[in-house]
Structure 1
Amino acid sequence: MAHEPNNWGRFGLDDQRGTLNLLTPAVVLDALRSATTGEVLSLAMPIRGATSSPAPTTVPHLPGRPLPQHFMSVDGGDYAAGARPIGEGLRVADDALVVTHHGTTTHMDALCHMWSGDELYNGHPAARVRSYGATRCGIEHVGGVVARGVLFDVARHLGLDHLPADFRIPAELLQEIAEPGPGDVAVIRTGWPLVWQRSHEEYWSGQPGLSAEAGRWLAAHDVSVVASDNAAIGGLDARGLADEGLADDLHLILLHRHGIHLVEMLWLEELGERGRTEFVFVAAPLRIEGGTGSPITPLAIL
């Protein structure tokens, strides 16, 4: 940390929001000018079916992680108290949803998701992260994110449907596409989710992602969020692990050192087809107190 640029103390000694502090009312109002047509696109993967059916396996996910579970009662029953009468001839369908978000669905990482040594982002004690939740830097501090989104469609820029699994995006390639400003949400399209439709084994063989230098370049531009359609922002090897050392780990660079929240496993195909570099990005995580992250449905307003 002593030799790495970071945002510790920049927004106050008690700060738990990181670069989301850059989204002042004036910055949000300016971001809204990025919408010109009013078309709204969802950037989320679907949560599909219960694990008792094959439906969830049809959505891109990392192996070995519990899939989201969706249960529904269609007989007027109540999960907590059994059957409940609601009136003659009336029926109700109730839902129960269990989600483990990391690696299985579109989600946002909280600043307490990863750290090094004994300290979270901004020097908060890592001992505050317990099995009952994190009392520092949890996902509940995010609130709502409304910002200018900047799409870095790296695959399309290179004339590819998707990047190769071993491709690590350099900073100069991002610079060729766009120049983000303070508070912007940098959205990275690798096209890798398309591989799932062709071969699950190929999808699990590794993933393309940002290089460490690209992460530092985005941090130097004061982005508020880095979002991508891959599973880890950085690349993954054939074992599903990041292949850089700790000093270059993207989660440590962005979450831990700079307080930049991460959004992973986006669906960016419709957005990429529109050819828009700038748009309004809107997202809000569930208000899970002490959560290390949350599923979200990001929206792009064109």
Structure 2
Amino acid sequence: MTGNWGRWGPGDETGALNLVTPEVTRRATALVRSGRTLSLAQPLGPGSGSPPHRPGPLRFMNRDAGDYALGARSPGGFRFAEDTVQLPTHSGTHVDALAHAWSGESIYNGHSQSSTRTTRGAQRCGAEKLVPVVTRGVLVDLVAAAGGPLPASAPVDADDLRRGIAESGIVPESGDTILIRTGWLESHDDDADYFADEPGITEEAARWLAEHDVALVGADNYAVEQQVAASGFPAHLVLLHQHGVPLLENVALAELGEALAAESRSTFLFVFAPIPLVGSTATPVTPVVVL
């Protein structure tokens, strides 16, 4: 197997996040100018959309005002509300762990696929192995480059990625996070349309990103890559399986695109702190940008 298997040792389960060294983080902090922060996460709740093969999020109130209306004790006048949320880990803005996708008999780094066949969750490469990082982010703004959102199933190849970086001379570097704005999220309100025929990166573009040693790749759609009937998910296999690059999906990028355009820049400080859900194949995340 080519790619990053064995690069950080036979037991590695963290993948390309290893590329974000202390030096990479120190360099990234120099990108902060105004100190303005932006969240790139979608609001997540029972009203959030979900593809047909996944259930939607649910909320259950464990304690609310109704309990007190029925006579619940209120020591010293103190009252409270609590709830429980149930959701697929691959919903809303989330990151795919390295246990999520593979081909053949092994997941990333040669760990057996049988490590995912358990009611205890993935025993290798689960979401808890996705360490938090602070690094340079690069926005590939295809909306700005194309003059509007990309059409359904539009391929995004390496040349498109190069053209979408507005800042002259910027190319992906080791440890970078690359975020790709296609306009798909901001132009689709209907769930059925959003979860079908999305534009996205091709296998060739995924290999170009991997060759530049990027640490994370994300996009404003639900699978990052181009959706074509019966095509499978080749970019997932290149990035997640072969190179150990986690994928950020359903990332809200419209506000970031506008903010960067106003400053004629493509780079920023990027903060990635996933919830360490033990054994999960993905986990919700709130990516944060500091401008």
Q: What TM-score, normalized by structure 2, do the two folds share?
A: 0.89
Matched, 1:13 2:10: yes
**CA separation of 1:18 and 1:77: change in aligned 2, threshold 3 A:** farther
1:60/1:196 contact within 8 Å kept:
no
Match of 1:106 in 2: 93
Tell whether 2:172 aligns with 1:180: yes
Aligned residue number for residue 226 of structure 1: 217
Contact 2:51/2:192 (CA < 8 Å) preserved in 1?
no
Q: Deviations over 1:212-247 (max 9, x none)?
A: 11100000000000011111111224xxx6x4357x
Q: 1:245 and 1:76, CA in 2 relative to 1: closer, same or farther beyond 3 A?
A: closer
Aligned-residue CA RMSD (Å) = 2.0
Distance 1:267 1:84 in 2: 41
What is residue 65 of structure 1 aligned with on the other side? 54
In the aligned structure 1, how far is the partner of 2:22 from the partner of 2:73? 48
For residues 133 and 140 of structure 2, the distance between their equivalents in structure 1, rounded to whole angstroms, comes to: 19
1:279 aligns with 2:279: no
> In structure 2, what is the Cα distance between the partners aligned to 1:70 and 1:40?
29
Contact 1:166 1:206 in 2 (8 A): yes
Alpha-carbon separation, structure 1, partners of 2:73 and 2:257: 48
Aligned partner of residue 193 in structure 2, secondary structure = helix
Q: Does 1:290 align with 2:279?
A: yes
Offset, 1:125: 1.1
How much does 1:200 deviate? 4.1
1:46-65 Cα shifts (integer Å, max 9, x gaps): 013x3xxxxx1xx4442342
Select 1:26's aligned residue among 23, 28, 50.
23
1:46 aligns with 2:33: no
> Which position in structure 2 is the counterpart of 1:53?
none
Which residue is 2:186 aligned to? 194
Asked whether 1:74 is paired with 2:71, we answer no
Aligned positions of 1:78-227 closer than 5 A:
85=73, 87-102=75-90, 104-129=91-116, 130-160=118-148, 162-176=149-163, 177=165, 178-197=170-189, 199-227=190-218
Quote how far apart the aligned CAs of 1:6 are.
Answer: 0.6
Secondary structure at the counterpart of residue 91 of structure 1: coil
For 1:236 and 1:213, locate their aligned partners in 2 and report how far apart those are by CA, in whole Å. Answer: 14
Secondary structure at the aligned position of 1:88 is classed as helix
- Percent of matched pairs sharing the same residue: 42
For residues 44 and 265 of structure 1, the distance between their equivalents in structure 2, rounded to whole angstroms, comes to: 8
Shift in Å, 1:284: 1.5
One-letter code of the match for 2:94?
Answer: H
The alpha-carbon deviation at position 195 of structure 1 amounts to 2.8
Question: Where do 5+ consecutive residues of structure 2 fail to align?
Answer: none
Residue in structure 1 matched with residue 247 of structure 2 by the alignment? 262
Which segments of structure 1 move beyond 4 Å, counting only runs of 4 or more?
Answer: 83-86
Q: 1:225 to 1:77 in 2, by over 3 A?
A: farther
Count of equivalent residues: 278
Cα distance between partner residues in 2 of 1:200 and 1:67? 11
Deviation of the 1:149 alpha carbon: 0.6
- Does the 8 Å CA contact 2:50/2:191 hold for their aligned counterparts? no
Instruction: State the distance in 2 between where 1:70 and 1:92 align.
Output: 17
